[in-house]
Amino acid sequence: MSETTDMTDMTDMTDNPYSGLFRLDGRRAVLIGAGGIGHELALGLAAHGAQVICADRDADVARAAAAATGGEPLVLDVTDPAAVERAARDAGPVDVLVHTAATNVRKRILDYSLDEFDRVVGLNLRATFSVVQAFGRGMVERGTGSMILFSSIRGSVVEPGQSVYAATKAGTEQLVKTAAVEFGEAGVRVNAIAPGVVETPLTAQIRNDDAWYTAYATKGALGRWARPSELTGAVVYLASEAAAFVTGSTLFVDGGWTAVDGRFTPPA
C-alpha cells in the first residue's frame, strides 16, 4: 500500500509569520555615530530593509556610510542640544534610533582633570540624554519606536583608568531602564547593547601592544576580540519585531567577558 502526501496540508513558508521576523522594511532608522562599528550597523539595518539616516559629526564619515547603504547623510554634533532637537524634528517619523557616539580618556582617578571629566560626561551621558529626549518625544507621540543605546562591559565591570567612562556607561544603562519605563506605555522600547573589546581604529593603540591584546583576548570565553560586524545582529534584533517584548534590557555582546571569573584557569 503506497502513501501519498496531501500538498495542501503543507505550510506555505511565504505565509509563515516568522519568516520576516527580523525584517525592517518601511522603517526609518537614525544611526548616530556612523564610523567604525556604526558603519557596520548601518549596513546591517539597510540589508534588512530599513531606510537609514547616517549621522556623524564628521561629514565625510556620514557621507561614506550613507553612500554604502543608499541612505541619507546627516552632519550632527550631539553635544549641541539644539542641533539634536533640529535633527529629531527634521528626520521625520523615526522608527529606530541607534546611538553609538562616545569617547574615553583612559587615566587613573588621581590623574584626571575636571576638563577631561566634563568632556567624557558631556558626550557619553549628557548628549545621550539629549538624544533620548529629542527622539523619544516623537516616538512617544506616534506610539511606536525602538531606541538602542550603546553601553559597554565597563558599565558592569571595570579596570584601572576607566573610572569616568565606566560611570557614564553605568549611567546610560540606568537611563535606558528609566526611559523604558516612561516610554513603555506609549509602545516605545528602549534597550542597550554592551560590547566587549572590538577591533576598530579607536582600539588600534591597544591592539598593537601584544601583551595588552592577548590579555583582553583571553579574558572572554571565546578567546578573541570582536569584529565590528559581530554587533550588527544584536542591533537588527532589538530594532525588529523579534524583540517586540524586550525593553529596559542590556544585551551583552562581549564574547563571554562578563561570564568569566578572572583570567586564571585552575586545574580540573
Where residue 145 falls among pLDDT bands split at 50, 70, 90? Answer: very high
Q: What angle do CA 227, 233, 239 make, to 5 degrees?
A: 135
Predicted pLDDT of residue 265 = 64
pTM: 0.91
At 267 the three-state DSSP class reads coil
Section 102-114 average pLDDT = 96
Query: Which three cell numbers, joined as nine digits, stand for 159?
Result: 579596570
pLDDT score for 205: 80
Q: What is the Cα–Cα distance from 249 to 148, expressed in whole angstroms?
A: 10
Q: Which residues are catalytic?
A: 165
**Average pLDDT in the 88-95 region?**
97
Contact 50, 69 (CB under 8 A): no
Band (pLDDT 50/70/90 cuts) for residue 1 is very low
- pLDDT(8) > 50: no
pLDDT band at 7 (very low <50, low <70, confident <90, very high): very low
Q: What is the model's pLDDT at position 104?
A: 94
The CATH number for 23-255, chosen from 3.40.50.300, 1.10.1200.10, 3.40.50.150, 3.40.50.720, is 3.40.50.720
Handedness of CA 51, 147, 234, 197 (dihedral sign): positive
- For 31-38, what is the mean pLDDT? 96
Reported as a single tens digit per residue, the pLDDT across 168-202 is 999 999 999 999 999 999 999 999 999 999 998 77
Amino acid 53: pLDDT? 98
Classify residue 91 as left (phi > 0), alpha (psi -120 to 50) or beta.
alpha
Domain boundaries, the chain: 23-255
Percent of the chain with pLDDT over 70: 92
**Arithmetic mean of pLDDT, 62-72:** 98
Task: Please list the residues that pair with 35 across neighbouring strands.
Answer: none
pLDDT at 25: 97
Which candidate, 160, 88, 99, places its Cα nearest to that of 124?
Answer: 99
> Looking at residue 13, what is its pLDDT?
52
Evaluate whether 97 touches 145 at the Cβ level (below 8 Å): yes
- Beta carbons of 37 and 228 less than 8 angstroms apart: yes
Given a cut of 80, whether residue 5 has pLDDT beyond it is no
pLDDT score recorded for residue 48? 98
